[in-house]
Structure 1
Amino acid sequence: MAGVEEHWTVGRVAELAGVSVRTLHHYDRIGLVRPSARTPAGYRAYRAGDMERLREVLAYRRLGFGLREVAELVDDPSADALAHLRRLRGLLRERRDLADAMVAAINREIAARAEGVTVPPEEQLGLLGARLYDAIGGAYPATRRTEPRFAVQIGQALGDARTVVNVGAGTGSYEPAGREVTAVEPSAVMRAQRPAGAAPCVAAAAERLPFADHAFDVAMAVSTVHHWEDPVAGLREMRRVARRVVVLTFDTDEPGWRDRFWLTRDYLPEFAAVLADFPSLRGMAEAIGGARAEPVPVPWDCADGLFEAYWRRPEAYLEERVRRAVSVWTRVGPEAERRAVRRLGDDLRSGRWAARNRDLASLDAADLGLRLLVA
């Protein structure tokens, strides 16, 4: 515990951090983390700010970054402690997704070997290569196709824009034809799945767009803001690089929004925690310059397999390939996912789901909280 001067000795810090004193001395020598206090006996000691920096250094190191890369990350003048935490959270989620995909691939091989099936060497290596990434993102292009009615609404919002930057572009489902489009996508997995002939794609994050002010007529973002480290910062960047902004996102301002969709209301209450840090619709609108919000109804036969797409086709949520193309399922964790799928399956078989949601059968579209912000 810190004393009245709020400093920690090197030995105590090594004990707390689970590293050796030698490691801390090395970080001091290379200027990575330098203790800035002194004990009454004159020994160097760590203040709270030093401890925070050490936490960031060790977190990045344990994610596999080299010392030079770590130094660049922690010395980034545009990132404060909160930005580092969000970045680390995103990296850890990617690591978790990779681990989940590897476990799934290994389970398939275990099942095959248990049945006496020989697994060829190239498939064994595939667990660490392309097959692993296919397991994570392969379902995306299979189920996340362009929904024509969404595309029409987005196209109308784009107006007569000639140059468009698509931020968080993914595989490019909603990139408009007949315009000069530049895509921005930080994920190598998603960039690799962009079809031949798609718009040129830049590897960058929404919060740090590598473009000049007002470089584009319109900046667009479709169902991606919830993936960003700092949504408000990303939206402000969109406002900076474009004269107009169009964003398809989700509304959590409306009272009772958690009960709009039967899946989150009855089976997956953890969805609320997924959006716990998500900015309000009003806050997002202000970030892009006072946008108007248009409801985006989800048609019953929605072609884009986003989270809400199957509101009138509940059996789809029992399919692994459908769930893997939606980040919500990964973010709530495997235990919540298994429980939700089991309960939904039970209710579909017993007829309870149909009885509880009989009013949905007569609807062609539903307002489930999707909103198009246009500024």
Structure 2
Amino acid sequence: MEDHWTVGRVAERAGVSVRTLHHYDEIGLVRPSARTAAGYRAYAADDVERLREVLAYRRLGFGLREIAELIGDPSTDAVAHLRRLRGLLLERRDRADAMVAAIDRELAARAKGLNVTPEEQLEMLGVRLYDAIGGAYTVTRCTEPRIAAQIWDALGDAQTVLNVGAGTGSYEPADRDVTAVEPSAVMRGQRPAGSARCVAAAAENLPFEDGSFDVAMAVSTVHHWEDPIAGLREMRRVAGRVVVLTFDTDEPGWQDRFWLTRDYLPEFAAVLAQFPSLAGMADAIGARAEPVPIPWDCADGLFEAYWRRPGAYLEDHVRRAMSVWTRVGTQTEQRTVQSLSEDLDSGRWAERNSDVVDLAEADLGLRLLVA
């Protein structure tokens, strides 16, 4: 590659306007660092690489502020960005392929005069919830060190660990012999190179002998299982101990713990209407429960993570990594976002929630079951 490229040539090759490149320069997103022989600013190879990342994220729907945070992470290099982008694109392709196949099946059925059941109609939205939200996990769902410390402390001296509903591998301890279980192909496909071996299976039917592991763990996944109690009992069967990060709905008025569910998303209660009680889950595996506070700057973009950063819930890619929004539906999601946006602009949110802005952590119902 040449030592430098002019602004005009980069704009032509990248398919963007010179004005766009000037804007990226003005806001510090991508600044040309080289000079032409005539003294004009030009793009060096590293600048072009950074621009490539910016444009790729932009075309996937990310806002400029979020892109700046993503590419400004000093721990993430070009290879990591390429892997992340590849995962996002594969997830988008897989979802499109699944929708096309479902549409083709429905068209064929309707052409024959056959009735199409509600279940078959909904199939067009995707086979598994995790497959629908999985592509965003590598962007916002990562290990929060303070939550990880609590989980890993509960693992004790266990050497062999089964991670059930493992997703992309967050919270898997690096100093143990880990085996992962994950039913979603999208999730499995995004696990980092060198991570623990991953078995395609569901929690309710683990393909292991009794007592195969020192401990079985499950992190923020039980609410996705078809039968949570059966899955927990399976974990108890295959491991000497069980550690589960889950959610407490036993406390009366639990929806009011979090301003988002209290003021903007009452439908959250219906999402967890069939979820087992914390006491029921604890009884199933003989566990004790301990609270897991969420730090204000939580690195893991779980549903409650942004309790002191409300503007994050306005960002599409943040919500895409939270299963709640897929469950409540597009209309509810749009209504919630609009209402929150208006309250943030007017200052109403700040007035209502002045008690949280100085807190370092909050108890919003996350619980660690340890058996």
Equivalent residue for 2:249?
252
Give the aligned residue type for 2:179.
T
1:136 Cα shift? 4.3
SS of the aligned residue for 1:323 comes to helix
TM-score computed with the length of structure 1 as normaliser = 0.66
**Structure 1 residues 97 and 366: CA distance shift in structure 2, 3 A:** farther
Equivalent pairs counted in the alignment come to 258
- Give the alignment partner of residue 280 of structure 1, picking from 277, 282, 305: 277
**Structure 1 residues 176 and 63: CA distance shift in structure 2, 3 A:** farther
- Aligned 8 A contact 2:181 2:200 in 1: yes
Equivalent residue for 1:299?
295
Give the aligned residue type for 1:189.
V
- Aligned 8 A contact 1:97 1:330 in 2: no
Any idea what the Cα deviations from partners look like across 1:155-191, whole Å, max 9, x if unmatched?
1000000100000000011000111100000000000
SS of the aligned residue for 1:285 comes to helix
- Aligned 8 A contact 1:165 1:184 in 2: yes
Any idea what the Cα deviations from partners look like across 1:1-42, whole Å, max 9, x if unmatched?
xxxxxxxxxxxxxxxxxxxxxxxxxxxxxxxxxxxxxxxxxx
RMSD after superposition: 2.4
Equivalent residue for 1:365?
361
Alignment of 1:25-174 (within 5 A): 95-97=124-126, 136-174=133-171
Any idea what the Cα deviations from partners look like across 1:58-103, whole Å, max 9, x if unmatched?
xxxx9999xxxxxxxxxxxxxxxxxxxxxx98x98775247999xx
1:139 Cα shift? 1.5
Q: Which runs of 5+ in 2 are unaligned?
A: 1-101, 106-117
In structure 2, C-alpha distance between the alignment counterparts of 1:319 and 1:166, rounded to whole Å: 30
2:306 aligned with 1:310: yes
SS of the aligned residue for 2:169 comes to coil
Equivalent residue for 1:197?
194
- Aligned 8 A contact 1:317 1:341 in 2: yes
Percentage of identical aligned residues: 76
Equivalent residue for 1:348?
344
In structure 2, C-alpha distance between the alignment counterparts of 1:365 and 1:260, rounded to whole Å: 13
Q: Which runs of 5+ in 1 are unaligned?
A: 1-61, 66-87, 102-132
1:362 Cα shift? 1.4
Give the aligned residue type for 2:317.
R
Question: Displaced runs of 4+ in structure 1, greater than 6 A?
Answer: 62-65, 91-94, 98-101
Equivalent residue for 1:323?
319
Any idea what the Cα deviations from partners look like across 1:263-311, whole Å, max 9, x if unmatched?
00000000000000000000000111x2110100000000000000000
